């Protein structure tokens, strides 16, 4: 089950996805969270954020919408109050960094440089306030620019989390790798909305939000497969994973590891359950090294 991600050793390829696991405190009351290969913590910004007004979460068919708005205590409070507890447990910590300007991304990343954070995950699905709110990750040029700037001030391996709200995921993947990304993670949520027909108003106060959960898994699988074929760096896949079989599918598509998000909200015990299901799958298939499964998808192209 062991893998290596940019020189960082993980005991297994399952990572708790940012935004659904907080800083692990609540889940640690239910089971030993050190069972995860790594934990990507709640998205961190340079300064504290209160997030969007409620309601900011809504259930949908086979998924959920969220517009939490990156509520977090800020990078300094994370380093002081949350990180030591995780590191003391021997947990591999991935810090998900967000921002509204390139400067905010860079300064938050600099403050993490001397910390025991193992990997920095750059969330480029945030709106760039200098460009009228357009997301950093929706154009190859913007994605390249912010990745290059953060790479210049990041001492840890740099993972870039890609938005699915693009025309060509391979183009974006190549752009951020060219700018210095060591690993890609995808996909982030798909923009969606819900309407209350009784009030004739949006269900979310922010009107739109990010769709996650099983509903987006086919899109996520397709994009992971395309990204893995387009670049020569490791890919971490996510989007709708809720079973050990789902994990196997993403790894076959080219992911070397996976992140599990919404499943943790649907089932607080999802982490250890999915890990055991995946272990049983590997055993049943006679696979002694999980790396044998990476990119093993057979298509007409590969079998020809």
Residues 6 or more apart in contact with residue 72 via CB below 8 angstroms: 42, 43, 44, 45, 48, 49, 78
- Could you give the CA distance from residue 289 to residue 226 in angstroms, rounded to a whole number? 24
The backbone region for 298, taken as left when phi is positive above 0, alpha when psi lies in -120 to 50, beta otherwise, is beta
Query: Residue 204: how many CA atoms within 13 Å on its side-chain side?
Result: 22
Q: Which residues are catalytic?
A: 126
Radius of gyration of the chain (CA): 18
Question: Do 108 and 49 touch, CB atoms closer than 8 A?
Answer: no
What is the C-alpha to C-alpha distance for residues 215 and 219, in angstroms, rounded to an integer? Answer: 9
């Amino acid at each position: 089950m062991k893998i290596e991600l940019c020189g960082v050793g993980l005991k297994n390829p399952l990572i708790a996805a940012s935004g659904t696991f907080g800083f692990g405190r609540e889940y640690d009351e239910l089971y030993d969270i050190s069972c995860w290969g790594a934990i990507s913590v709640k998205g961190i910004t340079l300064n504290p954020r209160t997030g969007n007004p409620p309601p900011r979460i809504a259930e949908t068919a086979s998924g959920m919408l969220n517009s939490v708005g990156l509520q977090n205590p800020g990078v300094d409070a994370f380093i002081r109050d949350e990180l030591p507890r995780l590191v003391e447990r021997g947990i591999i910590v991935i810090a998900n960094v967000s921002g509204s300007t390139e400067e905010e991304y860079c300064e938050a990343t600099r403050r993490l440089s001397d910390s025991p954070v193992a990997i920095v995950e750059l969330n480029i699905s945030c709106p760039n306030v200098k460009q009228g709110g357009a997301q950093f990750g929706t154009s190859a040029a913007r994605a390249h620019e912010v990745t290059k700037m953060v790479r210049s001030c990041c001492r840890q391996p740099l993972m870039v989390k890609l938005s699915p709200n693009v025309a060509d995921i391979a183009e974006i993947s190549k752009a951020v790798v060219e700018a210095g990304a060591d690993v890609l993670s995808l996909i982030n949520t798909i923009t969606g909305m819900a309407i209350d027909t009784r009030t004739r108003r949006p269900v979310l106060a922010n009107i739109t939000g990010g769709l996650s959960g099983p509903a987006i898994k086919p899109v996520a699988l397709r994009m992971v497969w395309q990204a893995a074929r387009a670049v020569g760096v490791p890919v971490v896949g996510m989007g709708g994973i809720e079973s050990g079989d789902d994990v196997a599918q993403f790894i076959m598509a080219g992911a070397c590891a996976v992140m599990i998000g919404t499943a943790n909200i649907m089932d607080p015990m999802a982490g250890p359950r999915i890990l055991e299901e995946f272990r049983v799958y590997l055993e049943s298939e006679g696979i002694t090294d999980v790396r044998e499964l990476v990119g093993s998808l057979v298509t007409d192209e590969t079998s020809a």
